A and B are shown apart, each in its own frame.
Chain A
Amino acid sequence: MSTPERTTPEPQSSRQQGPEQLNGGEALIRSLELEGVEVIFGYPGGAILPVYDPIIGSPLRHVLVRHEQGAGHMAEGYAHATGKPGVCMVTSGPAATNVVTPLADAMLDSVPMVCITGQVALAAIGTDAFQECDTTGITRSITKHNFLVTRAEDIPQAIREAFHIATTGRPGPVLVDIPKNIVDANNPDAYFDWEWPTEFDLPGYKPNTEPDPESITAAVELIAAAERPVLYVGGGVLKARGAQILLELAEMTGIPVVTTLMARGAFPDSHELCLGMPGMHGNYTAITAIQQADLLIAMGSRFDDRVTGKVGAFAPDAKIIHVDIDPAEHGKVRMPDVPVQGDSRIAMELMVEELKAGGLDGQPDITPWRQQVSGWQEKYPLTYQPSEPGELIKPQYAIERLRDLSPDDTIVCSGVGQHQMWASQYWKFDYPYTWINSGGLGTMGFSIPAAIGAKAGMPDRTVWAIDGDGNFQMTAQELVTASVEKIPIKVALMNNAYLGMVRQWQSLFYEERLSEVYLSHDMPDYVKWAEAMGCVAFRVEDPDEVDEVIAKANAINDRPVVVEFRCHSAENVYPMVPAGGSNDEVIVDPSQQPSLDAERAAVGGK
């Protein structure tokens, strides 16, 4: 991945004669400064205490969270929004286990993140000491790599390598576990001659970003021969900072683009070639275009089960070009005809170059395909039924109004569930890095801390967390962090009184036997709760009052705002591909389904 240039200041020359002596804790903070870190999201505790002392006096900003999970998601939100690695720091034991969820989240969504955990003193490791857990063991499969540092003088090297691994190749979380004794200012052995390492000692880590030219040529040949091509764009394009070249590639070839849940904003939704999101709750056109394509150009996407549905029935007639920086993604789910291993931005640049140099000669006329696709867009757009008079707000409506009344470059974060799908469907993402969500792990409670991290990294942007009532109750305490740290995010709480997505599945697949999904509209009192946490809070129940409240919320910039939208409870997310089903069986909005059924019957009857 190419990250934006980080300025790495030169270490300040010591005023003393001879090498400068630092203890491990000071060296850790110095190393973070030299890596260009600006913000750490963290929470102190016993084993990490010695590292918190040198934070006093460091230019690093430390954001004191209210739960370690919040620190991890804030680091992720920061990384998503800025492209720079997010950093969190917590103590040992329960704090380390509390960051397990964000680490797993960052692993599945390839988020560059460095997590520093305190550990009990080396001599106590393995003795079941107070607040001891096997942090590197627990996090082994949910980090790209992790380190247990055993000597103070190894700390700078470990930090350098952690940032290098987190930000290069396929990005991901790296954890550095630091025993207390090697950072302890009272331990003579924790002191060493400071030196900022210049080389990595990683003989097994050689990420390749440059695609094989032959694979590019083979890809271009398939592109030039395709009659029904689709660009299937995933989060890798955003990680590679590839949005600009994607636009060029799409425009020069005229190939329609779908953007997965992780790639919303990588291609402008308002562009005529944009088909929006595919997958389980994708729109009919994006899903069907993939199903009927003769060529899928998978660009930094990984054939996730939420995109493919039943794998054997996914894009059955399509040849596959699969561009991925991680070679293990090639053939993991679907065997590509042309695997392209490398950075997707570089791959697209090379493709565009070759297409310009005559590679597109002989391209069949894809106008009929484009027309077919447009036909689907006209016939089966995203839709919902507006509230009847006296009914509560439709969440889709609230999101549409938020979208239209907020700045174009607003950063939107979401939790996980129905509101996430509606936000992804109904927001118009015209800029990269404006959509932050938990796609792979599906972590409820992600939005509020992620929004805080994003706002900390992008303080001049409007940041809306679109959240559900179930999600809100998992991480709302971080609004205290937002208030105290003056990180004025805005929360749109879609309160439908239910765990809506679970209710939807129970409605559709369990004969409406609703089991343990009711939360209630007014328990807790979200407005009082938000106010108690230092936020300005509004409650709106009448669809006619939605605009006014959003305008008020958007006008507040000195503290966090929570807007509770009292939403209709029975709303389902459509379209929907039932889990494990084929994308050909997509169910559309009830108002469109009869027409689709008739169409399918006609095709089947032929």
Chain B
Amino acid sequence: MSRPGDLQQHVLAVLVENKAGVLARVADLFARRSYNIVSLNVAPTDNEKISRITIVVDVEKAPLDQIVKQLFKLVNVVEIREMIPESSLVREMVVLNVKIDEGQKPDLLAAVEKRHGRILHDADGHVMVSLAGEPHEIDAIEHELVAFDIVDIQRTGKVALRIVGRETPLTRA
């Protein structure tokens, strides 16, 4: 299930030096040049000097090639790969608090089980659910759970990795 605008979204895997202010540099660049960020994930890698950013960009305002080239001008950016379906896998996670009546519980549990989700907490008429999968699966569970009362929702945004050995386009390193 794709959402409107998906076609102009691209996923970039960006390796950056793990230094103070690097995230601000990336965010500043996007703001300064009016590029749209759809989602962004940052975390250290096994190499303490390097962090990995997965950034989903919207290319409505500027072509992907231009965004990648501007990004690569940042001195702390070490490598950029585009994550395309042919050579990479994308995952996302969501956690939700859902308010339920006792009678709704079986339906909720069934929906969560069907999507291989987990119940993290269950008390006082509220159930906390987590679910990881492909972004379209996350969209689907979010859609299904609208039938219940979603109190809070946090999606992580996409994270992605290349499939080792396959070509990833627009690689800059």
Q: Please determine whether chains A and B interact with each other in the same assembly.
A: yes
Contact B66 A331 (CB under 8 A): yes
For A205, give the chain B residue with the smallest CB separation.
B75
Does B28 lie at the interface of the complex (its beta carbon under 8 Å from any beta carbon of A)? yes
C-alpha gap A144/B32 in the complex (Å): 14
Given A328-B69, A331-B66, A332-B66, residue A140 in contact with residue B28 (CB < 8 A): yes
For A341, give the chain B residue with the smallest CB separation.
B69
Does B3 lie at the interface of the complex (its beta carbon under 8 Å from any beta carbon of A)? no
- Neighbour of B24 across the interface among A137, A328, A332, CB < 8 A: A137
- Neighbour of A204 across the interface among B21, B32, B74, CB < 8 A: B74
Which residues of chain A have C-beta atoms less than 8 A from B70's C-beta?
Answer: 328
Given A328-B66, A328-B69, residue A202 in contact with residue B25 (CB < 8 A): no
Segment 123-160 of A: residues with Cβ below 8 Å from B? 136-137, 140-141, 144-145, 148
Does B95 lie at the interface of the complex (its beta carbon under 8 Å from any beta carbon of A)? no
Which residues of chain B have C-beta atoms less than 8 A from A204's C-beta?
Answer: 16-17, 74-79
Does A440 lie at the interface of the complex (its beta carbon under 8 Å from any beta carbon of B)? no
Query: How many pairs of A and B residues are in contact by the CB < 8 Å rule?
Result: 41
- Neighbour of B25 across the interface among A140, A205, A328, A330, CB < 8 A: A140
Which residues of chain A have C-beta atoms less than 8 A from B20's C-beta?
Answer: 148
Most B Cβ at <10 Å: residue of A137, A328, A332: A328
C-alpha gap A163/B3 in the complex (Å): 47
Most B Cβ at <10 Å: residue of A141, A204, A205: A204
Which residues of chain A have C-beta atoms less than 8 A from B69's C-beta?
Answer: 327-328, 330
Does A326 lie at the interface of the complex (its beta carbon under 8 Å from any beta carbon of B)? yes
Given A327-B69, A328-B70, residue A202 in contact with residue B75 (CB < 8 A): yes
Contact B75 A136 (CB under 8 A): no
Does B65 lie at the interface of the complex (its beta carbon under 8 Å from any beta carbon of A)? yes
Segment 181-230 of A: residues with Cβ below 8 Å from B? 202-205
- Neighbour of A165 across the interface among B49, B63, B75, CB < 8 A: B75
Which residues of chain A have C-beta atoms less than 8 A from B79's C-beta?
Answer: 204
For A141, give the chain B residue with the smallest CB separation.
B32
Which residues of chain B have C-beta atoms less than 8 A from A137's C-beta?
Answer: 21, 24
For B20, give the chain A residue with the smallest CB separation.
A148
Does B73 lie at the interface of the complex (its beta carbon under 8 Å from any beta carbon of A)? yes
Interface 0/1 of B6-33, CB less than 8 Å to A: 0000000000110011001100110010
Which residues of chain B have C-beta atoms less than 8 A from A327's C-beta?
Answer: 69, 72
Contact A148 B21 (CB under 8 A): yes
Chain A: minimal CB distance from B34 (Å)? 13
- Neighbour of B28 across the interface among A141, A148, A202, A203, CB < 8 A: A141
Q: Give the interface size class of chain A.
A: 10 to 19
Contact A140 B24 (CB under 8 A): yes
For A146, give the chain B residue with the smallest CB separation.
B21
Contact B74 A331 (CB under 8 A): no
For B65, give the chain A residue with the smallest CB separation.
A331
Chain B: minimal CB distance from A327 (Å)? 5
C-alpha gap A328/B33 in the complex (Å): 12
Chain A: minimal CB distance from B78 (Å)? 4
Segment 22-76 of B: residues with Cβ below 8 Å from A? 24-25, 28-29, 32, 49, 63, 65-66, 69-70, 72-76
Chain B: minimal CB distance from A187 (Å)? 21
Segment 325-365 of A: residues with Cβ below 8 Å from B? 326-328, 330-332
C-alpha gap A331/B66 in the complex (Å): 7
Chain B: minimal CB distance from A182 (Å)? 15
C-alpha gap A327/B21 in the complex (Å): 24
For B68, give the chain A residue with the smallest CB separation.
A328
Contact B63 A331 (CB under 8 A): yes
C-alpha gap A140/B25 in the complex (Å): 7
Which residues of chain B have C-beta atoms less than 8 A from A202's C-beta?
Answer: 75
For B62, give the chain A residue with the smallest CB separation.
A332
Contact B75 A145 (CB under 8 A): yes
For A327, give the chain B residue with the smallest CB separation.
B69
Which residues of chain A have C-beta atoms less than 8 A from B75's C-beta?
Answer: 144-145, 165, 202, 204-205
For A170, give the chain B residue with the smallest CB separation.
B73
Which residues of chain B have C-beta atoms less than 8 A from A140's C-beta?
Answer: 21, 24-25, 28
C-alpha gap A137/B20 in the complex (Å): 11
C-alpha gap A576/B55 in the complex (Å): 44
Chain A: minimal CB distance from B138 (Å)? 32
Chain B: minimal CB distance from A207 (Å)? 10
Which residues of chain A have C-beta atoms less than 8 A from B28's C-beta?
Answer: 140-141
C-alpha gap A140/B20 in the complex (Å): 13
Chain A: minimal CB distance from B24 (Å)? 7
Which residues of chain A have C-beta atoms less than 8 A from B73's C-beta?
Answer: 326, 328
Chain A: minimal CB distance from B47 (Å)? 10
For A326, give the chain B residue with the smallest CB separation.
B73
For A150, give the chain B residue with the smallest CB separation.
B20
Chain B: minimal CB distance from A154 (Å)? 12
C-alpha gap A202/B16 in the complex (Å): 11
Which residues of chain B have C-beta atoms less than 8 A from A332's C-beta?
Answer: 66
C-alpha gap A332/B16 in the complex (Å): 24
C-alpha gap A136/B49 in the complex (Å): 21
Chain B: minimal CB distance from A425 (Å)? 33
Chain B: minimal CB distance from A209 (Å)? 15
Interface 0/1 of B104-119, CB less than 8 Å to A: 0000000000000000
For B74, give the chain A residue with the smallest CB separation.
A204
Chain A: minimal CB distance from B162 (Å)? 19
Chain A: minimal CB distance from B145 (Å)? 40
Chain B: minimal CB distance from A283 (Å)? 32
- Neighbour of B17 across the interface among A203, A328, A330, A331, CB < 8 A: A203
Chain A: minimal CB distance from B171 (Å)? 13
C-alpha gap A136/B24 in the complex (Å): 11
C-alpha gap A202/B17 in the complex (Å): 9
A-B contact pairs, 17 of them (CB 8 A): A137-B24, A140-B21, A140-B28, A141-B29, A148-B20, A148-B21, A202-B75, A203-B17, A203-B49, A204-B75, A326-B73, A327-B69, A327-B72, A328-B69, A328-B73, A330-B69, A332-B66
* 6 pairs of A and B residues whose beta carbons are closest in the complex: A328-B69, A204-B78, A145-B75, A141-B32, A205-B75, A204-B77
A-side interface residues toward B, CB under 8 Å?
136-137, 140-141, 144-145, 148, 165, 202-205, 326-328, 330-332
Q: Knowing that A165-B75, A203-B78, A204-B78 are A-B contacts, what are 6 other residue pairs whose CB atoms are under 8 Å apart, sorted by A's residue number?
A: A137-B21, A140-B24, A145-B75, A204-B79, A326-B73, A332-B66
